[in-house]
A = this chain, B = another copy of it.
Amino acid sequence: MKRSLTVSWEDPLAAFEEGKKLAPLEYMRAVCAGRIPAPPIARLLGMRLAKVDAGEAVFELTPAEQHYNPIGVVHGGIAFTLLDSAMGCSVHTMLPPGKGYTTLEIKANLVRPITLQTGPIRATGKVIHLGRQTATAEARIEDAAGKLYAHGSTTCIILG
């Protein structure tokens, strides 16, 4: 039996231009509140910015069959994408207006398989170090009961 899914999204560059008018944390809050449309990747994967504050960002996703890999569990790439989003956004919240960032690298451990039975998961990202030129952050993915599924860290460079 074939399964299918239709996803839709809005012009990402329009949201990006709109976002430039706001200070970074305000922009993230506008995305979180739905006043600025979520980026296409979020619509494709079904992930959602659930909470954002200075130095912290939380993404949520409910594992679904379209996330499955060939060995019968959610593909590790979904966990990496959630961790990367949560860590990058936690750094983004701390930037002064006019500054941007890009992710140089990510490291992530998968400690338990994520399946349809896991239910909704949350990736919580927190800034560890904010320097003038670089920043580091860490994140954890937990289920509703606080059980740990994955954790990671990242190095970002601050631009502009």
**Residues of chain A whose beta carbon lies under 8 Å from any beta carbon of chain B:** 1-13, 15-16, 19, 31, 39-41, 43-45, 65-72, 75-78, 80-82, 84-85, 88, 100, 102-111, 113, 128-129, 131, 133-134, 136, 138, 148, 151, 153, 155, 157
Q: Contacts of A100 on B, CB cut-off 8 Å?
A: 71
Known pairs A3-B10, A4-B8, A104-B155; A75 contacts B66 (CB<8 A): no
Complex CA distance for A31 and B71, rounded to whole angstroms: 12
Instruction: Report the nearest B residue to A107, measured CB to CB.
Output: B107
Further 12 A-B residue pairs, CB within 8 A, beyond A105-B110, A106-B107: A6-B6, A12-B65, A13-B72, A39-B70, A39-B75, A75-B81, A75-B84, A77-B81, A102-B110, A109-B153, A111-B128, A128-B148
A1 to B15, CA, bound (A): 12
Give chain B nearest CB distance to A83 CB in angstroms: 9
13 pairs, CB–CB < 8 Å, chain A vs chain B: A5-B8, A6-B6, A12-B69, A41-B67, A41-B78, A44-B44, A75-B84, A75-B85, A76-B81, A77-B81, A102-B110, A107-B107, A153-B153
